[in-house]
Structure 1
Amino acid sequence: MTVGIIANTEKAGARIALDRLTSALSIRGIPTRLDREAAALCGLPGGMDGPALAAASDVIAVLGGDGTMLNAVAKLGATDKPVAGINIGTLGFLTSCTDDEVELFAEAVLSGGYATSRRTLLSAKVKGIDGSEKDFLALNEVVLARGQTGRLVSLSAYVDGDLLNNYRADGLIVATPTGSTAYSLSAGGPLISPSAAAFVITPICPHTLSQRSLIVGDDTLIELAPENADEAPMLFTVDGRDCVSIHHGDRIEVRKAGQVLNLLRLPGHSFYEALRQKLNWRGG
């Protein structure tokens, strides 16, 4: 059993957390592999890129937070290996434990005492009016939003070829159940259980207040497109990164990806525990 480690080296306390993690694994005879940033943080030569790290590991530990996990999905590429998020600080929506619980994590890896939660990913294809195509993979959401302008923009959404709506808004979010706790939630979207076979389409600050989020099946093809040739280019982002300019005539196709993220879960930790903690829910 080998554990590959990806670390957010810019996060405060990263070196201490990394040392604690590698020590907990080493004591139990579990070998580790480091990505390039983690190796550099330890002052070691080399380190591995994402796909090589995934291929050489049985379990992947992502040390940082929810943002680090989002970046890790892009870095690792297609992998079915269990991925554990180890948050430096408090428990996150995408993390399996905190850095105070690395002993628990190491013991679970040694004994096999963990479960996995299959998380749906989004596949997005940007089809340019010039015939170009770019493919992206998202765990949380894709967003088409206004670019270098302070004005609302005009954009359309289609569901399986049928027009859903022409929007005047700051933009549109298409989120997975995992992403329903992130940007979509901040924009007024609903919370969705991670196991639900669904996506949510959420407008950002729509001009018409009756325009609300819509939940659709995850077998749906969703298409987004700018509507006004006179408006400035919009910006398309994937999990908050990969910023692409979108012009009138360009089109974005969003559908369920052919792969999933196997998120490692430790005993005693669940999505609903994270909801209670992160949203500060209290009983009556």
Structure 2
Amino acid sequence: MTVGIIANPQKEGARIALDRLMGALSLRRIGTLLEREAAALCGVPGGMDGPDLAAASDVIAVLGGDGTMLNAVAKLGPTDKPVAGINIGTLGFLTSCTDDEVEVFADALLSGEYTTSRRTLLAAKVRSVDGSEKDFRALNEVVLARGQTGRLVSLSAFVDGDLLNSYRADGLIVATPTGSTAYSLSAGGPLISPAAAAFVITPICPHTLSQCSLVVGDHVTVELRPQNADEAPMLFTVDGRDCITIHHGDRIEVRKAAHVLNLLRLSGHSFYEAVRQKLNWRGG
């Protein structure tokens, strides 16, 4: 078995966690490959690009946190290899274990005692008024929001060509079940189980309080459009990472991506455990 490793060099304790992970894998005679930033963190020359790392690895381990995992999805590109998040610190929504559990992680790889959770990805296409197109992929969400102005903006959302609503708000979020625990949740959206075949459309600070989130099936196409030329440009972001300017007349089409993320899960760690921990749920 070969494990490809991606690490966030900006995360405090990343070098120590990387050394511990590589040591645990080496003791079990599990081979390792390093992505470029992980190689640089170790002081090792070279390193691999994300797609090459995915192709050459049996499992990919991502050291950092949920943000590092979102960036790793973009780096790796489409892959069916299991991806394990190893959080430096407390357990995250997207991580399989913490950096204190690398021995457990290595043992699980050796024994095959792990599962994978199939996570839906979004495929977004920005069709500009000038005829150009740009494609993006998201694990959590895509967002169309106001730009530099502090005012509310007007935008419309369509589902399979039918008008859903015209919003006056700070923006609009289209999230996957995985992303329901992120920006959408903070904007008042519902929690959705990762296994649900759904998207959630959530307005950000809407002018009318009755404009709430809507859960739709993930077989639909959602289209977002700015409404007023004098309120443009707006900003379109993908997993809080890519950010492009959207002008009046541009359209954003969002649908389910053709591939999924296979998120590795260890025994004893689940989505529901993460929800209880991160949201501080307690029984009565």
State whether TM-score is above 0.5. Answer: yes
Superposition map of 1:69-148 within 5 A: 69-148=69-148
Structure 1 stretch 18-27 or stretch 228-237: which is displaced more?
228-237
The letter of the residue matching 1:47 is G
Instruction: Assess if the C-alpha contact under 8 Å between 1:201 and 1:215 holds in 2.
Output: yes
Deviation at 1:231, TM superposition (A): 1.2
With the length of structure 2 as denominator, give the TM-score of the two structures.
1.00
Corresponding position of 2:41: 41
- Structure 2 residue runs of 5 or longer lacking an equivalent are none
CA distance in 2, matches of 1:73, 1:96: 15
What's the secondary structure of 1:11's corresponding residue? coil
AA matched with 1:7: A
Mapped to 1, the partners of 2:51 and 2:241 lie a distance apart of: 19
Cα distance per residue 1:52-95 (max 9 Å; x no partner): 00011000000000000000000000100000000000000000
1:157-172 to structure 2, matched below 5 A, reads: 157-172=157-172
Secondary structure, aligned partner of 2:230? coil
What residue is the counterpart of 2:206 in the other structure? 206
The equivalent residue for 2:29 is: 29
Matches of 2:55 and 2:104 in 1, distance apart? 24
Superposition RMSD in Å: 0.4
CA contact (8 A) 2:226 2:232 kept: no
Retained in 1: the 8 A contact 2:218–2:255? yes
CA distance in 2, matches of 1:232, 1:251: 13
**In the TM superposition, what is the alpha-carbon distance from 1:170 to its structure 2 partner?**
0.1
Distance (whole Å) between structure 1 residues aligned to residue 147 and residue 248 of structure 2: 13
- Per-residue CA deviation, residues 225-271 of structure 1 (Å, 9 max, x unaligned), is 00001113000000001101000000000000000000000000000
Report if the CA contact (8 A) 1:125-1:135 is conserved.
yes
Task: Please tell me whether residue 272 in structure 1 is matched to residue 272 in structure 2.
Answer: yes
- Whichever residue aligns with residue 28 of structure 1, its letter is R
CA distance in 2, matches of 1:159, 1:246: 20
Distance in 2, matches of 1:163 and 1:232, equals 21
Letter in 2 for 1:73: V
Q: State the SS of the aligned residue for 2:229.
A: coil
- Confirm or deny: 8 A CA contact 1:142 1:236 kept in the other structure: yes
Corresponding residue for residue 225 of structure 2: 225
Identity of aligned residues (%): 86
> Where does structure 1 lack aligned partners over 5 or more consecutive residues?
none
Alpha carbons 1:149, 1:232 under 8 Å: kept: no
Any idea what SS the aligned residue of 1:230 has?
helix
Supply the AA of the counterpart residue of 1:19.
Answer: D
Other-structure match for 2:282: 282
Q: Take 1:249 and 1:122, find their aligned partners in 2: how far apart are those partners?
A: 22
Q: Deviations over 1:10-44 (max 9, x none)?
A: 00000000000000000000000000001001100
Number of equivalent positions:
284
Partner of 1:249: 249
Q: Whole-Å Cα distance in 2 between the matches of residues 269 and 241 of structure 1?
A: 27
What SS does the corresponding residue of 2:231 show, helix, strand or coil?
coil
